[in-house]
Structure 1
Amino acid sequence: MRYASMTERLADLGSNKWELHAEGRALARAGKPVIELTIGEPDIAPDETLLDVCNDAMRAGRTRYSNGRGEPAVLDALAAKYSARSGRTITTDNVLCFPGTQTALFSVFMAVVEAGDEVLVPDPYYATYESVIRAPGATVVPVPLRKENRFHLAAADLEAAITPRTRALLLNSPHNPSGAVLGLDEIRAIGEICRKHDLWLISDEVYEHLIFDGGFASPLDLPELAERTVVVSSISKSHAAPGFRSGWAIGPAEFCARLLPISESMLFGGQPFIADMTAHALAHDLPTSRIMREQYGRRAALVADRLGRVAGLEPIPPEAGMFILVDVAATRLSGEAFARSLLDNVLVSVMPGSSFGAEAESLIRLSLTVPDETLLEACERIAAHTGELMSKQGLDALRALV
């Protein structure tokens, strides 16, 4: 039988990137004491009021079909949020709702690129970015994020990667996996390059509310970039509600009008009871994100302190988010080999840097979404195992001299 070429383009971009995570889950199901530090799944529950709103909405009959753009209440709440943030009028014509950021990204790239186009993606990058770009036939062009620059995108590196086929930049700040947060001046410089070369600027802002110190900057909030910026986000991280799959895209009215038929062809609306919950989340100052900011900031400091005292490991403290990167190059293992060794020998499951691009080959990513005592236990296992690896390398080096 024949298949569409998309199936070939995406064949190696799905669950393969999460192979070690899946193996760790399987070991845990078999009764092994695995500590899972792989995925970005908040370890606190959504605020009780959100669950009440969702439950009440279902019981009130909010279980029927919606429409392609989104329920009026959540559209109004999103328009109000981004109007207040940007200081200019954002209307419901600038909003489309989706079941999560991933679906929003997939649809957005279906609308802005096609076969032969190129999309600039700062590397390291979130594991699914490559798939949403390759799905419509475009090519990912990595732009290096340098460790010595704290994984902040340099405008010069961005401009150097542009070709006549470049159509868009996929920006992610706060950044996954590094936790880097771009400042307003950096955003402005990046945006000016996008203006100069007439590029779309797709901004993934799911970690907007998880910045440990300092403010948030977005290209959407700069008037000169509004016509080319599309923001995607959700309540998955900000409100500890990843399983509810409630996200959105904010962009120019014409863009949203063109995107709507694509969205309707695939989805034709989400669940009204989840839309009601999302509208409530956006309209009220709930404590969830503040709790997570405090927890993840504290845990990042714990990991950086403990693993920073281990020969062979270099933790890279994040500025935001729910992860911390650790450079394992001094162990002479790749990030993937080191992650494999951790799971096989001490039952700690982490993500290998190779899941996030070539620039992360020597890195591993640890999730901060477990209790402090569990995270510290994982650090002790990692420290002990790294000590054994380094000792073995020392012995091997001595033997080589004899």
Structure 2
Amino acid sequence: MDKRAYDVAIAGGGLAGGLIALALHRHVPDLRFMLVEAGEVLGGNHRWSWFESDLSEQGDALLAPFELNRWDEGYDIAFPKYAKTLPTAYRSLASEEFHRALMELLPADSIRLNTRVDTLDAGGITLSSGERIEAKRVIDCRTFKPSAHLAGGWQVFLGQHIRCDQPHGLTRPMIMDATVDQLAPFGNGSAYRFVYVLPLSETEVFVEDTYYADDPKMDKDQLWGRTQAYAERHGWKGEVIAHETGILPVLSGGNLEAAIADRRVDGVAIAGAQGGFSHPLTSYTLPFAVENAIAIAEMLKARPATSGAQLASFCHKRADAHWRRTGFYRMLSRMLFEAAEPEERVVVFQHFYDLSGDLVERFYAGGSTWTDKIRILSGEPPVSIPRAIRALLSRGTPLSTEKPA
């Protein structure tokens, strides 16, 4: 192989790819890597949030260079039957900050923006221009693509960053306001709906209208108007200075091995959401992306001679372990999508959030204990027992493979 070959080539500069590059730079500083991103910026146009308790000390250290939004006084939730404040500290990272920090922290010659990948193989990346980037190891961190081998529904959202004319008066995030209209039309029917609110400064607020829907479709104008109406109803009037949209999978079942096999290339490691590294029910990715980045960097530091095939096997084993560990959440996703009508799905979440804050933390981190699982499933069922049984026995509804609209 050419002596100028990179030690690692990473395809995709989103959350997973960017964090892997950062972890390699910090833990294995002599390692030469190239991060290739098709877009103009790293991280796209997103906002990632998590509970402080989701990350280890190593995870906190990896994110230390980023300027985060921090709320140490807890967060609020609101449902038709109750509203309450939970004490866990909450964190959020905007993609603009993700891009800015990585461009400062990583070597300038280790990042290629506006660069599309044509093909990957065990020896490197071929770009759409025909240029070849030779590498000893290749990691595929490109965007998740739906697979007929996976089952579930979709989380569809539109968020607006509003600069208010007056201070908004908020001190804590509202991570789920489900008191909004659950019968609001969505697509060909309805969906579980909630609004997510983050106070970013005294006069800036992020408001996101979110739906758990059966189809990956979005009427942007409809969601834009509803988000604006929610903000104005709370007195948050001002200028929308940024916005984001998203359509994320909510997994309820399927065969991850078959889904990965459809896009696997021998000797190429797969990471990120397309490797199955997400929370099946909440679609959270950041805690798992942080864990993976640290694990990959530590492995290459401890075993410098690791081959591309060995790295691919390492990531595949982690994906398989994550899939098995999160089976309980896929079962709950089936309950949500198959045992409850769209407008009744709020009852499932209302039942869950009425449990203890510690249980909720472990749930989001994908670390629910057996006691947690028993508590979640005990008590008065939020859906009918016959429908719940059918959902439990179901393999789930195959994900639509049509391009999200």
| TM superposition score normalised by structure 2 | 0.29
Q: Which has the higher helix share?
A: 1
